[in-house]
Amino acid sequence: MKLKHLVILLAVVFLGTQLSLAGTISGKVSGAAAGSVVWADDPSAKVEPPAKPFVIDQKGLLFVPHVTVAPVGSTVDFLNSDNVQHNVFWTGIGGNKKLGHNLGTWPKGEKRSFKFDNPGVVSLLCNVHPEMSAYIVVVPTPHYAMTDANGEYTIQNVPDGAHNVMVWHEGMKQQSKQVNVSGATKADFTLSK
């Protein structure tokens, strides 16, 4: 019986130690509206894409949502909810033209899926409706967030230590800064074109 109590005590101590080694990064992104993507690198973290695919709908001649952030390995379902045919294509991922792809054209009620295995910004377009555009930011980390209407964000469970924090917003220059996470850590950004 004493061995069982010792094992439980060690488990509680171990879990308490593990929990104390993770913090949060929060802050504000100024100079841009809501929808900035912020992520913290963590080369040691295993990126687990969600089992359920992300969904981007083509509705009202728009991609909805306009910006999606997804960890590497995620699948995105592209739906067509309009009464017209739509197409989805991108010319590259993160500037790599070799990663461009065209999913083709399909009618209302159908979907096409794609698994994004490479990190970077994906500029989505529809060759049937050239005014349509959207973005997927594929991040190589499980530590990411999008800013709210006030430009604020919080990234939970970031391991303590040095991290490079990046921020992206459509039409703005991407920025990064080094932060040393120890509990609650602040990282503010001011974006410019």
pLDDT value of residue 4:
59
**Token pair recorded at residue 151:** 């430009």
**Token pair recorded at residue 77:** 């379902």
Give the chain's domains with CATH numbers.
21-45+142-193 (2.60.40.10), 46-140 (2.60.40.420)
Chain position carrying tokens 């979907």: 111
Strands (E), the chain: 22-30, 37-40, 54-59, 62-64, 67-71, 74-80, 86-90, 101-106, 111-116, 120-125, 133-139, 144-146, 152-159, 161-168, 175-181, 184-186, 189-190
- In 3D, which of 43, 94, 101, 35 has the Cα closest to residue 69? 35
**In this structure, are residues 26 and 186 in contact, taking their beta carbons and an 8 Å threshold?**
yes
Dist CA 102 CA 72 (whole Å): 19
pLDDT value of residue 1:
52
Read off the amino acid at residue 148.
D
pLDDT value of residue 6:
46
pLDDT value of residue 2:
61
pLDDT value of residue 45:
87
pLDDT average per 10 residues of sequence, the chain (193 residues)? 52 46 94 94 90 97 98 98 97 97 97 98 97 98 97 96 97 96 96 94
Q: In terms of pTM, does the model score above 0.95?
A: no
